[in-house]
Structure 1
Amino acid sequence: MSGADTAWVMVATALVLFMTLPGLALFYGGLVRARNVLSVFMQCFAVAALMSVLWLVFGYSLAFGHANGFWGGFGKIALIGLTPETLWGTIPEIAFFAFQMTFAIITPALIIGAFVERINFSFVLAFCALWMLAVYAPVTHWIWGGGMMADGGIFGATGTKDFAGGIVVHETAALAALLLAVMVGPRAKRHTPPHSPVLVAIGAGMLWVGWFGFNGGSQLAADGGAAMAITVTHISASAASLSWALWERIKFGKSSLIGLVTGTIAGLASITPAAGFVGPLEALAIGVIAGILCQEAVILLRDKIRIDDSLDVFAVHGIGGIFGTIMIAALGHGAWLAQLGALVVVGLYTLGVSWLIAKLVARVFPMRVSKEDENNGLDLSSHGERAYDHTS
């Protein structure tokens, strides 16, 4: 066991949890209307708690067990038999479990952005629970858990390269988000301004800082590889922030704060799969392109195709993660077949299983709240609370 590696992974674990609580909650919460901000926080916190318990009981075993190439099996259920001395490489396996748990938290939490302001809270919890176990955990096993897409698997000796989750996190969450946005239908009032750009910016800043743990921690070591991953993560985020803002000014005459920080997230999502393989100049190129590419994807989905993916989960996280995964091959750090093949297989699996889960859960819990509840806001109608007390 390496004390340095263990310490770094534990710090990274805290940083990744910080991305969801409160980073993502603030980022998403600021983008919705004031009458719905508390519901977004409720969904983020409840999903984080539920995924943590499920990851302990079933998820970790399904993802990192050793049953076969398709799934991990039940050998690690509830961490039975695991001791503080059990190692995963140079760190205690319990530290690896905790680090991966924070990924299992933020991945379904990302989906929340697609259906805010009109979703039934019970549906959110039931869908995310089944989705994490049936989609996220198996895909994690395929690529990170020694499964069928890892080294020596169906895509050749080198396997699919996804350093920190371009496929495992961003593609899966974004495709599920896009699917649910279509299934639940658009909001009654689609084009409403964010109630608090300040909260959005604070949340984006927390996500940016937390992403150092997300990508740097994925090295699972306190070494030069982790330092490079953090550096390229920051460069890509910076470049995408600037390219988004510049492209927005060229097209619309002004650069907005919401646009700038959305560009930040686009750059972070795009570098995620490649962070362990590229250098600073390659990260700069990825970020510059991502800021423009993801902005155009937002415009296409929102204004041309008119899908109400409310907080642009697919256009930013999905397109960014897919783009970064492709760039691994384009820059010569991976095989085209392995990268594209994994994107296709994971994409089809995610869409199919996510659709099935949504249909099954909708038989028990309505997917959408009533028109009256949507009009009154989910804070009061679903949770009996207000985010802001305007009477005091």
Structure 2
Amino acid sequence: MKIGSFPAWAARARALAPALLCLLMLAGFAAPAFAQAPEAPAVAAADTAPAADAAPVVEKGDVAWMLTSTLLVLLMVVPGLALFYGGMVRSKNVLSVLAQVISVFSLIVLLWTAYGYSLAFAGGGAWIGTLDKLFLKGVGVDSLADTFSAGFKLPEYVFVAFQATFAGITGALIVGAFAERARFAAVLLFAVIWFTFGYLPIAHIVWAGSGYLFNLGALDFAGGTVVHINAGVAGLVGSYFVGKRLGFGREALKPHNVTFTFIGAALLWVGWFGFNAGSALEANATAALAFLNTLLATAAAILAWALVEKLAKRKSSVLGVASGAVAGLVGITPAAGTVGPLGAIVIGAVAGVVCVWGVNGLKRMLKADDSLDVFGVHGLGGIVGALLTGVFTAPSLGGTGAEDFSIAAQVGKQALGVGITIVWIAVVSVIGFLVAKAVFGLRVAEDAEREGLDITSHGETAYEA
């Protein structure tokens, strides 16, 4: 029997490489778990509330709010982020961006269910969880997750779904940094590696009860480090590895539909109320504070961005105010439930001003083609928000900190969290892109890039000629 040519076998091996890599990673994680019997798993959740003597209480209002918040975060991704990104690329690449956003999100949601939730929240040590809840083992309709109030619980399925959307949107954010020239298969393979070795450890150390930064007292209410700095750093690394777009710096690479981007930003703002206020894990006063702060910070950032553009360029652009909205949302994310309304306004305004510089001056300094300014808005905005959380959480400035709250000490903890996230995600991203490059190659051919990824990668066009 004729076996076939070596090139054919090589092509098949390359096609199977992502699946084999996933199996190897799962085997590597599972080996310690099966080598010795794990301790009885703790309730997988925020791990923040002390055990109550009375029977746990599940409030239907909390459940309804958290399911609504989960739906709002999904709205942020599809259609919000998809339209926001899709409008900023050229018309020949809009479908490729939509495909990457929804596909990366979907892939990570499945990986979250398979092993991500377990490694992030199922017990463990200071740096990573366990595989006690691999494929949601032990999670059922009767299992409960902690809220932030003693004795009050959520159905664990609600917490699993809510956190799945956080992981998914973080991965989807990254693709904007190297839009219009990256291979679809390489993007998916990188997402697997980054999620497994990058997102999960950071989520665990920041949010899990046994996590290093959680126990240190670093504050990240809804994902300044876990989501935004994480995505910004990974995107920046990717923009270097994939390289600059053809014509970058020599010709105008203008957004093809600013209306799409504006609608996407508006949907992001609406969905972000679930992202931030939902992170209270209850329908209570903390959720209300996070809701109000999300409203105020975003408004302040929009006006701050518009003012800076007016002073620098004599015109305030629609693309600018849409970007300002996202900058404000990013900036308030880590602080939403711990700062007062005035603190939120200051954080939003500062994030708006700093991110204008991030997408202009800093971008030129870094000499990176971060196509859709993932680092300039999400990375830089996340850093600003994380550090200012340590300032405005102080009760003397309207925050919810304890009476003995020390701004200097808290800012130090916040800076440590920022530093750990930047270094760890940078290292993981370098490895992830190297692997993706070796398996698939990171970039499409020049002819394919000139023609557009919509037709060359997906066989479709967004608009008829």
- Partner residue in 2 for 1:21: 78
Deviation at 1:148, TM superposition (A): 3.3
SS in 1 for 2:212: coil
Check if 1:119 corresponds to 2:119.
Answer: no
1:345 aligns to 2:420 (yes or no): yes
1:302 Cα deviation after fit: 3.2
**Identical aligned residues as a percent:** 44
Which residue is equivalent to 1:169?
227
8 Å contact from structure 1 (residues 164, 215) kept in 2: yes
> Which of 452, 460, 464 is the matching residue for 1:377?
452
Q: Choose from 243, 259, 277 the match for 2:320.
A: 259
Say whether the 8 Å CA contact 1:139–1:346 is kept in structure 2. Answer: yes
| Counterpart mapping for 1:1-392 below 5 A | 1-89=58-146, 90-152=153-215, 155=216, 159-190=217-248, 191-331=252-392, 332=394, 333=401, 335-390=410-465
Query: 2:16 aligns to what?
Result: none
Q: Distance in 2 between matches of 1:187 and 1:151?
A: 40
Read off the aligned partner of 1:359 and give its amino acid letter: L
Contact 1:379 1:387 in 2 (8 A): yes
Q: Distance in 1 between matches of 2:212 and 2:223?
A: 14
1:353 CA drift (Å): 1.2
Distance 2:287 2:99 in 1: 33
Moved more, 205-214 or 335-344: 335-344
Cα-to-partner distance string for 1:220-267 (whole Å, 9 max, x where unaligned): 000111011011011000110011011101000101000001000000
Contact 1:379-1:385 at 8 Å conserved across structures:
yes
Q: Which amino acid aligns with 1:346?
A: T
Decide whether the 8 Å contact of 1:232 with 1:271 is kept in 2: yes
CA distance in 1, matches of 2:349, 2:66: 30
Alpha-carbon separation, structure 2, partners of 1:129 and 1:21:
20
Query: How many Å apart are 1:73 and its aligned residue?
Result: 1.4
Amino acid in structure 2 at the alignment position of 1:351: A
AA in 1 matched with 2:194: W
Kept after mapping to 1: 8 A contact 2:205/2:214 = no
**Which amino acid letter does the alignment assign opposite residue 137 of structure 2?**
I
In the alignment, structure 1 segments of 5+ residues that lack a partner are none
Classify the secondary structure of the residue corresponding to 2:231: helix
SS at match of 1:78: helix
TM-score by length of 2: 0.81
Shift of 1:306: 2.6
The Cα shift of 1:151 comes to: 4.2
Q: Which amino acid aligns with 2:172?
A: A
CA deviations over 1:290-340 (Å, ceiling 9, x no partner):
111100111123334331101111010111111011001122356122111
Looking at structure 2, the residues matched to 150 and 353 of structure 1 have their Cα atoms a distance apart, in angstroms, of: 19
Say which is worse superposed, 96-105 or 300-309, in terms of deviation: 300-309
Q: TM-score, normalised by structure 1?
A: 0.96
Paired with 2:265 and 2:177, the residues of 1 have a C-alpha distance of: 17
Distance in 2 (CA, whole Å) between partners of 1:16 and 1:287 is 20
Is the deviation greater in 294-303 or in 253-262?
A: 294-303
Where 1:91 maps in the other structure, the secondary structure is strand
Highest Rg: 1 or 2? 2
Question: d(CA) in 2 for partners of 1:361 and 1:65?
Answer: 29
SS of 2:439's partner is coil
Contact (CA 8 Å) 1:149, 1:160: kept in 2 or not?
no
Instruction: Confirm or deny: 8 A CA contact 2:76 2:267 kept in the other structure.
Output: yes
Instruction: Determine if contact 1:5/1:220 at 8 Å carries over to the other structure.
Output: yes
Q: Secondary structure at the match of 1:340?
A: helix
> Amino acid of the residue matched to residue 230 of structure 2?
T
Deviation at 1:77, TM superposition (A): 0.8
Query: Aligned residues, how many?
Result: 385
* Per-residue deviation, residues 170-205 of structure 1 (Å, max 9, x unmatched): 011100100111111110133311000000000000
